[in-house]
A and B are shown apart, each in its own frame.
Chain A
Amino acid sequence: NAGVTQTPKFQVLKTGQSMTLQCAQDMNHEYMSWYRQDPGMGLRLIHYSVGAGITDQGEVPNGYNVSRSTTEDFPLRLLSAAPSQTSVYFCASSRGDRGNFNSPLHFGNGTRLTVT
């Protein structure tokens, strides 16, 4: 299994540009989520999904959209990039089946985004 795969690894955007960060997992996990991590800080939850077709907001959802059309994929869209969105973005997944949300989170290796 590849686990959780994030692409791209690095990205530089200009203010106002849009882009999609990709996240895919091959573990058949129901639960997926996106976090951002600013330098020296903990992780902040952006959006999460408890299954295909179901998404909800986390702590810091403004400026980001998500969709979950398949179990495997959970892309994160930046609608109009701003310098404040410069961060490292992590995607995570866990089993979460039948309400077992204590299954450990599996993280990808992150996407480093710089907005100039």
Chain B
Amino acid sequence: LAKTTQPISMDSYEGQEVNITCSHNNIATNDYITWYQQFPSQGPRFIIQGYKTKVTNEVASLFIPADRKSSTLSLPRVSLSDTAVYYCLVGPNTGGFKTIFGAGTRLFVKA
């Protein structure tokens, strides 16, 4: 599985857009990029997945440049309830088979 590097923590204020970047220099051709969100005392929750360019859903957007060596999770207009840990996973089987989670990025949203 490709190694990922993401910031340990980030702070933001309500209403701001938050961008969390994940580096994955060794990404392989058949690797996907998947992001999960984890609230305290809960299991992680799937947010978004992409292979290249841009993916958008009702929760977030995922931007992937042409070389795919990094990706950026964008959360529009965050609220206090977006305070959570965000995990970036890269691999051919990031939905299941031997999925490995790193330490993630702790996002604190302030009022």
Contacts and interface: CB of A to CB of B under 8 A. Distances in A.
Interface of A: 4, 31, 33, 35, 41-45, 48, 50, 58-59, 90, 92, 94-96, 100-110
Interface of B: 32, 34, 36, 41-46, 49, 87, 92-104
Given A42-B101, A44-B101, 4 more contacts: A4-B43, A33-B99, A102-B93, A108-B43
B99 A45 contact: yes
A48 B49 contact: no
B98 A105 contact: no
A41 B99 CA distance: 16
Given A102-B32, A102-B34, A102-B93, A42 B43 contact: no
Contacts of B94: 101-102
A106 B92 CA distance: 18
B96 A110 contact: no
Closest 8 CB pairs of A and B: A107-B43, A104-B46, A101-B93, A101-B96, A31-B96, A94-B96, A43-B101, A101-B97
Contacts of A106: 46
A50 B45 CA distance: 20
A104 B99 contact: no
A58 B43 contact: no
